[in-house]
Amino acid sequence: MLQSTASAIREDVASGRVSAVEVCRAFLDRTTAVNAALNAFNLVTSERALAQAAEIDRRRAAGQTLGVLAGVPVAIKDNLCVRGMTTTASSRILEHFVPPYDATVVARLAAADAVVIGKTNCDEFAMGSSNENSAFGPVRNPWAQDRTPGGSSGGSAAAVAARCAPLALGSDTGGSIRQPAGFCGVVGLKPTYGRVSRYGLLAFASSLDQIGPFTHTVRDAALALSAIAGADPSDATASREAVPDFAASLTGDIKGLRIGVPRAFVADGVDAGVRAAFDAAIGTLRGSGAQLVDIELPHARYAIPVYYLVATAEASSNLARYDGVRYGYRSARDKDQNLKQMYSRTRDEGFGAEVKRRIMLGTYVLSAGYYDAYYLKAQQVRTLVRQDYQQAFEKVDVIAMPTSPIPPFRLGERTGDPLQMYLADVFTVSANLAGLPAISVPCGFSEGHLPVGLQLTGRMFDEATLLRAADAYERETDWHAQAPAI
Amino acid sequence: MNAIRYEPVIGLEIHCQLQTRTKIFCGCSTAFGAPPNSHVCPVCLGLPGALPVLNRQAVDFAIRAALALGCEVQSESIFARKNYFYPDLPKGYQISQYERPLALGGSLTIAAGGGKRVGLTRIHMEEDAGKSLHEGFPDSDRRTYLDYNRSGVPLIEIVSEPDMRSAAEASEFFAKLRDILVWIGVNDGNMEEGSLRCDANVSVRPVGQTAFGVKTEVKNLNSFRYVHKAIEYEVDRQVDLLDGGGRVVQETRLFDSTGGATHSMRSKEEAHDYRYFPEPDLPPLVVDAARIERARAAMPELPEARRARFIAAYGLPEYDAGVLTQSAALAQYYEQVAREAGNPKAASNWVMGELLRTLKERGAEIADVPLAAGALAGLIRLVDSNVLSSSTAKDVFARMYDSGRSADDIVSAEGLAQMDDESALHAIVRDVMTANPDAIAQVRAGKNNAFGFLVGQVMKQSGGKANPKIANQLLKRELDGTP
C-alpha cells in the first residue's frame, strides 16, 4: 500500500477495498518508523488524522459521495497554516504559533477529503536550498542520508520519497518544490503564479511564492492541482482563470509537441551525471514524437542576481510582522528592555542566520539611495527574463532543462558559502521570476545512485500541456516508480 | 532698524477615514467604540499568511472625494508598502500608495485671502493603524496596551499644495474640506473620534522671496482650533528663531494641545526610511471611465451648487440658502419640505426657525429629527390654506415634534382648526362688543389701540382659533353698522 499513488488510494477507499483508517494507519506507521532518521516532519498529527479518516469511512458507509482525494494522506509544509496545528515555518520565532485558520489550499484539500498527517520540515521561512536552515535540524535525503533532500521544501519531498505520504504540499519561491523533488526522485509541480491561492502561506517573497504538490506520478500532481487551484476571494493575486480537469489532459500523446532546449544556458557548470540523465531524457521525449528545438534565454544568466534582489526585498518586509508584539517568540532577556531592544533581541534570537542575512540584504536593496540601483533595476531585468520566455514560447510549447545543475550534495558541504548555495538555483529561479508553471520529474540517477530531475516549463496557465509532456515522459520510464531503500 | 517681515507658507496633509461598513482589506467592522480587539481577524492583525483584499466601497468613496475636490482620478494606481516598526502597525508595514496615487490635482476655494484657490497635490488610499493605549490602566507605567479595532480602517490622505499663507487660511481650508467630505457622505466628520486628522507643513520666508524656507511638519492637529493655534505658534517660533539669528531645522514636531506649543519629535536625521516598494499582494488598482462616471452620478450636489440653486429656483434670500446648505442632510430635508408644501419661503422660515431652534434646544442633529419632512410640509399647507393660524401652528409643531403625529391628526383630534365660519365668529364678536362698551366708545373716539384690544378679545374667546382676518372684518362691520 505504501507504494500506492494518491489516485489508487482514492479509488480503493471510495470503492471500499480498503478503509481510510487502514490507509492512514499504514502511512502514519511508516512515518513514525522513518522520521527519526529523516527528520522530515516537524509535527505528526496521528490522532487528528485517524479521526478524520474514520469520518471519511463513516460517510462512505452512509453512502455519501467522497471527495477526489478521499482518504489520501497528505503532508503539509510547515509554512502553510492549518487551523489548530502548530505552524512554525521551521523558525524559533514561530515555534509555538498555532494559526486560528486554514490556508485556502488546506481547506480545499479537506474539502476533497484528503487527510493531513502532519507538518513537514523546511528551510526557515522557505529560505534555502538544502533544508539546513531549519531551526529544527536538517532533513536527510532518503536516498542517501548524509545528503541534503534539497530545499526549501525538503521535508515534503523526503516524506513522499520515503513513502510517508503519497502527496505533500510545498511552496516554491525560486525552486523550493522542484529542486527537492529532483533531489528526492519524486514529482514536484510549481503552478503558474496566481493559479493557486497563497492565503495562509507564510510569505517569503509574495510576487514569487507559489504552492504546489509533491507526488509519485504526474497524474497525481494533476489531480492535486485540480483540487487546490482556482480563484480565491481571500487572495487578490489568485487568478480567475478557469481550472480544467488536468488529469483529463494526460493523453500520452506528444507527437509534434515542440520542446525547447536552451543549449547555451545549460552548457556550463552542469554535473556530468546530471547532463547524461538530462540528455537521455530529452532523447526519450524526442522518441515519443516531440520535436526538440534549440532556443535562447539570453537573460537567464541574470536570473540569480535578480532573484536575490527581488526575493530579499520582499522578504525584508514580509518578515517585519514577526516582532514579538502579538504572537510568536518575544525576547525576555531583560525585563527593563525598551521597545527597540525588545524588537532587536526578539528578532536576533528568533531568526536564524540565513533569514537575518536575507532581511539585511532586502532592507539594503530597498533603502533610500539604493532602491533604483538594486530593486528597480532588478525589476527591469525581471521583465527581460519574462520577455525571453515569451519569445521562446512563440517557437515552442514546453522548455526542458535540468532541475538542478548538481546532484544532492552532502549536508554541510555548502553551508559555508551562501553564494555557492544560491548559484545552485540557476535553472529554477527564472520560472518564478516569469511566473511560469514548471515541473520536475525523476529522470534517472547520477553517480552514487543520486536522483536527477528533469524540469519542464510551460506557458502561463498552460499546466495542461506541461503535465501532458511530463506524463508522456513518465510513461516511457520507470524512474518515478523506484523507491529509496530506507 | 527695520525688522524683516515674514510670510508663512503652509500646506496641509489630511487623513480622512472613509465611512465604509467594513475595513479596507478585510471584512471586519469599522464601528467606533467597540470593546478593544473585538473587530479583528487574521488580516487586520497581520497574522502569518493572511492577505489583503481591497474593499470596493472604499475605492468608490475615495473616487467620490477625488471628484468632489476636482482631482483627476488615475486610471491605474499602485498600492505600496510603507515599512516601519511600531506596535500598533501589525504587519510592520502600512499598505498605502506612493509613487502612483489614486488621484492628482484638484483644488478648494476658501473665503480667506479674498476667495483663494488652494491647490491639491494628490489623494491616496491607505489603511489606518491600531491604537497604542499608554494611559488608563493600573500598570500603564510599565505597559502599553494595543487595540487593533482601528487597524485597517480605510483612509484617504489629501495633500494640499503649500498655498496657504496664514493660520486662518489653513484652518478655514481644513473646515471647508471637512464640510465637503461629510456632505458627500464619505466621512462622519467626527474629529474627536479621529475620523479626520491633520498635519501641517509650515515654513516662513521674507516677504517677497520666492524660494521656500526650511519647513517643519507639525503633527496631531485634530481640531480647527488646534490647526490655527499650532500654526500660529510654529510661525512665531520660526520667525523668532530667524530674527534671533538662528535657523529653522527640518524636523517633525508634535503639537501639545494643553500647552499650545509644538515640540520636536524627530529630526531629519532620525526620519524613517520607509523603504516604499509596490505591494506585491495587491494588483494595480484599475479604475475605468465607467466607474468614474458611476461615482459622478452618485455624487450628491455639492454645497456651492446647491446654495446657488436654492436662490435661483426657490427665490430664497442668500442668507437662507447659506443656512440651509450647512449640511447635506439639512438641505435635503429643507428641499423636501419646500417641494411638498409648495411654498419654498414658508418652508425656509419653518426649517430655519422652529425646526433648527428645537433641534438646538434638544441638542439633536438633523439626521435624528423625528419629524418627517412631509409632516412639516403638511403643517405648512394647513397654514397656507388658513386652516391654522400661525400662532396655533407653532403649538401644533411642538406637539408634532414630540408625538410624531401628523398636523391633520392633531388639528382634527383637538379641534384646533381655525374658525372660518362667519356665523359662529359673528356670535363671538357680538358677545365681545356687548361686554366692552368702553372700548367701543374709545374706538369711536379714534383710538386704534382699542380696536386691537377687541380683536384680541375675539381671539381669546375663540381659544385662539378665530381666523384673524375674518374677525377683523366682522368687528369693523359691526362697529360701522351700529350707532
Domains and CATH numbers, chain A: 6-260+395-481 (3.90.1300.10)
> Which amino acid is it at A58?
R
Instruction: Report the run of H or E that residue B60 belongs to, with start and end.
Output: helix B56-68
- B335: how many CB neighbours lie within 10 A of its CB? 22
- A195: how many CB neighbours lie within 10 A of its CB? 25
Q: Name which of A433, A379, A366, A428 is nearest A402 in CA terms.
A: A428
- A457: how many CB neighbours lie within 10 A of its CB? 27
Residue B429's pLDDT band, with cuts at 50, 70 and 90, is confident
pTM, two decimal places? 0.89
Q: Residue A368: list chain B partners with CB under 8 A.
A: 273, 275
Q: Percent of chain A at pLDDT above 70?
A: 100
d(CA B18, CA B149): 15
d(CA B147, CA B162): 35
Q: What pLDDT, on the 0 to 100 scale, is given for residue B420?
A: 73
DSSP letter at B301? P
Residue B483's pLDDT band, with cuts at 50, 70 and 90, is very low
How far does the CA of residue B41 sit from the closest CA of chain A (Å)?
A: 9
Q: What pLDDT, on the 0 to 100 scale, is given for residue A143?
A: 98
Please check the confidence at residue B19 and state whether its pLDDT lies above 50. Answer: yes
Q: What pLDDT, on the 0 to 100 scale, is given for residue B452?
A: 83
d(CA A191, CA B474): 97
pLDDT tens digit string along A392-434?
A: 999 999 999 999 999 999 999 998 888 888 888 999 999 999 9
pLDDT tens digit string along A11-36?
A: 999 999 999 999 999 999 999 999 99
Inter-chain residue contact A236 with B282, CB threshold 8 Å: yes
CA distances from B1 to B4, B237 (A): 9, 21
pLDDT tens digit string along B101-121?
A: 999 999 999 988 888 999 999
DSSP string, A167-203: EEEEEESSSTTHHHHHHHTSEEEEPPTTTB--TTB--
Inter-chain residue contact A363 with B90, CB threshold 8 Å: no
Least confident of A36-50, A288-302, B458-472: B458-472
SS3 at position A453: strand
Please check the confidence at residue B481 and state whether its pLDDT lies above 80. Answer: no
d(CA B199, CA B215): 13
* Length reported for chain A: 486
Inter-chain residue contact B53 with A207, CB threshold 8 Å: no
For residue B48, the chain A residue with the least C-alpha distance is A202
Decide: A72 and A214 in contact? Cβ < 8 Å.
no
Sheet holding A450-458, edge to edge: A41-44, A115-120, A73-77, A167-172, A210-215, A187-190, A438-446, A450-458, A398-402, A258-261, A291-294
Cell readout for B321 is: 440658502
A69 contact partners, CB below 8 Å, separation of at least 6: A6, A10, A109, A112, A113, A114, A167, A223, A224, A227
Q: Name which of A281, A69, A75, A38 is nearest A182 in CA terms.
A: A281
Q: Residue A316: list chain B partners with CB under 8 A.
A: 83, 275
Q: Residue B51: list chain A partners with CB under 8 A.
A: 198-199, 234-237
d(CA A128, CA B227): 52
Decide: B222 and B17 in contact? Cβ < 8 Å.
no
d(CA B330, CA B207): 43
Task: Kindly give the interhelix angle for A6-15 and A218-228, rounded to the nearest 10 degrees.
Answer: 70
Least confident of A95-99, A304-308, B375-379: B375-379
Inter-chain residue contact B85 with A343, CB threshold 8 Å: yes
Q: Name which of A159, A162, A229 is nearest A189 in CA terms.
A: A229
| Beta pairing partners, A204 | none
Q: Percent of chain B at pLDDT above 70?
A: 99
Inter-chain residue contact B53 with A234, CB threshold 8 Å: yes
Which segments within B224-335 are labelled E, that is strand? Answer: 251-256, 261-267, 277-278, 285-286
d(CA A314, CA B294): 36
> Which amino acid is it at B69?
L
Complex-level ipTM: 0.96
For residue B27, the chain A residue with the least C-alpha distance is A234
CA distances from A55 to A30, A47, A110, A423, B273 (A): 22, 12, 12, 47, 54
Please check the confidence at residue B482 and state whether its pLDDT lies above 70. Answer: no
The mean pLDDT of chain B is: 91
For residue B37, the chain A residue with the least C-alpha distance is A326
- Residue entry with cell 528526492: A184
d(CA B373, CA B394): 16
Q: What pLDDT, on the 0 to 100 scale, is given for residue B405?
A: 84
Asked if omega into A152 is within 30° of 0 (cis), the reply is yes
Which segments within A45-134 are labelled E, that is strand? Answer: 73-77, 115-120
Cell readout for B274 is: 520607509
User: Which 3-state string (H, E, C) describes B82-118?
Assistant: EECCCCCCCCCEEEEECCCCCEECCEEECCHHHHCEE
pLDDT tens digit string along B44-90?
A: 999 999 999 999 999 999 999 999 999 999 999 999 999 999 999 99
Q: Name which of A180, A174, A146, A148 is nearest A77 in CA terms.
A: A180
Q: Percent of chain B at pLDDT above 90?
A: 64
For residue B144, the chain A residue with the least C-alpha distance is A339
Tell me the mean pLDDT in the region B133-149: 92
Which region holds residue B34: left if phi is over 0, alpha if psi is between -120 and 50, else beta?
A: beta
> Which amino acid is it at B420?
D
Q: Residue A325: list chain B partners with CB under 8 A.
A: 87, 90, 146
SS3 at position B419: strand
- Interface A-B, measured as beta-carbon pairs within 8 A, has a size of 98
Please give the backbone phi and psi of residue B72, each rounded to the nearest 5 degrees, phi first.
-95, 115
Decide: B480 and B451 in contact? Cβ < 8 Å.
no
DSSP letter at A376? I
Inter-chain residue contact B48 with A80, CB threshold 8 Å: no
Q: What pLDDT, on the 0 to 100 scale, is given for residue B413?
A: 76
Q: What pLDDT, on the 0 to 100 scale, is given for residue B2?
A: 58
A196 contact partners, CB below 8 Å, separation of at least 6: A105, A210, A211, A212, A225, A228, A229, A230, A238
- Residue entry with cell 542520508: A145
How far does the CA of residue B32 sit from the closest CA of chain A (Å)?
A: 22
Please check the confidence at residue A153 and state whether its pLDDT lies above 90. Answer: yes
How far does the CA of residue A234 sit from the closest CA of chain B (Å)?
A: 6
d(CA A70, CA B463): 87
How far does the CA of residue B281 sit from the closest CA of chain A (Å)?
A: 6
Cell readout for A441 is: 520529474
Where along chain B do its domains lie? 6-291, 301-414, 422-480
Catalytic residues of A: 77, 152, 176
Q: Percent of chain A at pLDDT above 90?
A: 95
Decide: A324 and A277 in contact? Cβ < 8 Å.
no
For residue B285, the chain A residue with the least C-alpha distance is A236
Inter-chain residue contact A323 with B47, CB threshold 8 Å: no
- Residue entry with cell 381659544: B463
The mean pLDDT of chain A is: 97
DSSP letter at B214? -
d(CA A165, CA A159): 6
Q: What pLDDT, on the 0 to 100 scale, is given for residue B388?
A: 78
Please state which CATH class domain B422-480 belongs to: mainly alpha
DSSP-derived pairing of the beta strands A115-120 and A73-77: parallel
Q: Which of B192-196, B202-206, B352-356 has the highest mean predicted lDDT (pLDDT)?
A: B202-206
Instruction: Report the run of H or E that residue B160 belongs to, with start and end.
Output: strand B154-160
SS3 at position B374: helix
